[in-house]
Structure 1
């Protein structure tokens, strides 16, 4: 029988001496023998068992579960593994929800320019909405084809480039409200917003107009599950777009007169 001192076993497996001693105390991994000086000695059998313990720990099983599994020759492995898989999938779902919530908070800070309980409260209120109400309103307000277009809207929980750019543009617009809707910087932001609108919703003006009217209604916007934007910012955005459209039309007329 090969003799492996505890220090050597720790070195081979990466398990600390303290952990190996604990495994001995709880009866999970008892050494093959002890020296007269009480030093623990392990054999290849304990090494193999320790590898089994490490593998099961990586699968997420508790030490008590591992002890039951490796000590019972009639253990139902299929049931245990299926139960553990269900547990992992549920935990994964919770982690995905946490990730989504964290991204929403970070993106709301990008829009609001600061973090506060007011911002957090918006997200809490938004997440508490009944999904069936959102679905019902979408079916009432939009045609079937338009409902599909709603999936192309920017999402506060998303990391796709389009959503991130929309979030950044909205944050920039809010921070420049004091400059006035006709300022060059504001008009530059609005121009990019219009370019992005055309990239996704070109020839969909009725849909965009309908969505904008819903956005301006706090109640309908909330029911739709849209991120709450202050009335002041919505009004400013509308003023800036009106100026942008007038300037765009004027430029097109002037270019038409010169051709």
Structure 2
């Protein structure tokens, strides 16, 4: 027989937890000492290991108790139900992960305006995904929809997305300096470099997307992160100055 303290040392299960298992009739000790200390045989140790394993894969204690008590328990059905539950939880956790990324990146873009970022991410999460899909399919052809999938995303931690978010956040902070400011024009230059790196020859697609971005109604249908109209107009003006100063023409 093994003393409860020794069982705790061997298995990592606290004495308090072992006492609780006894109380709820999940794992009864084989016997007790004259002083009332619980004693366990190898059979109980084996059952304890089963309890810990089933806990590890997500089963609640009341169900574990039934699983280990009834010989006719349908293990296959229980495992399938548990797997379905875990997959659903993974899906929910993925949604939470994306929302957290959007909020972190929203705060990066908005600067110190945390509440603004929260409100905008809340708006995104409440948008109708079916309307978004219908709008994409009605406005963009199949080839263009593939290009949409390559766009930077507020829910992505890819280097490309992070750089775009940082560039837009910097532009927002430098708006007070005016669209001709050197810092602003340097950011616009980098944006144009990235445009050429990722979408050279796709000016028609980008122009269509930019017009959608500047329309609050259409941007919402696309489920795009709500960028302030003042900032969008500032970017437009700064880009026009960039093109003019570099002897370029808007496509």
Common fold: TM-score over 0.5: yes
Q: CA deviation at 1:153?
A: 1.0
Between the aligned partners of 2:161 and 2:114, the Cα distance in structure 1 is 22
Taking structure 1 as the reference length, the TM-score comes to 0.93
Deviating beyond 4 angstroms after TM superposition, the runs of 4 or more aligned structure 1 residues are: none
Whether contact under 8 Å (2:110, 2:116) holds in the other structure is: no
Matches of residues 1-259 of structure 1 in structure 2 within 5 Å?
3-249=1-247
Q: Deviations over 1:109-128 (max 9, x none)?
A: 00000244332222222221
Between the aligned partners of 1:143 and 1:93, the Cα distance in structure 2 is 29
Alignment length, in residue pairs? Answer: 248
Q: Deviations over 1:5-60 (max 9, x none)?
A: 00000000000001111111111111111111111111100110100001000011
Between the aligned partners of 1:90 and 1:139, the Cα distance in structure 2 is 28
Between the aligned partners of 1:131 and 1:236, the Cα distance in structure 2 is 30
Between the aligned partners of 1:144 and 1:193, the Cα distance in structure 2 is 26
Between the aligned partners of 1:208 and 1:97, the Cα distance in structure 2 is 28
Q: Deviations over 1:184-236 (max 9, x none)?
A: 11111111111111111100111111111111111111111111111110011
Secondary structure at 1:36 match in 2: coil
Whether contact under 8 Å (2:3, 2:40) holds in the other structure is: yes
Between the aligned partners of 2:158 and 2:144, the Cα distance in structure 1 is 21
Q: Deviations over 1:111-150 (max 9, x none)?
A: 0002443322222222212122212222222222111111
**Unaligned residue ranges in structure 1 (runs of 5+):** 251-259
Taking structure 2 as the reference length, the TM-score comes to 0.96
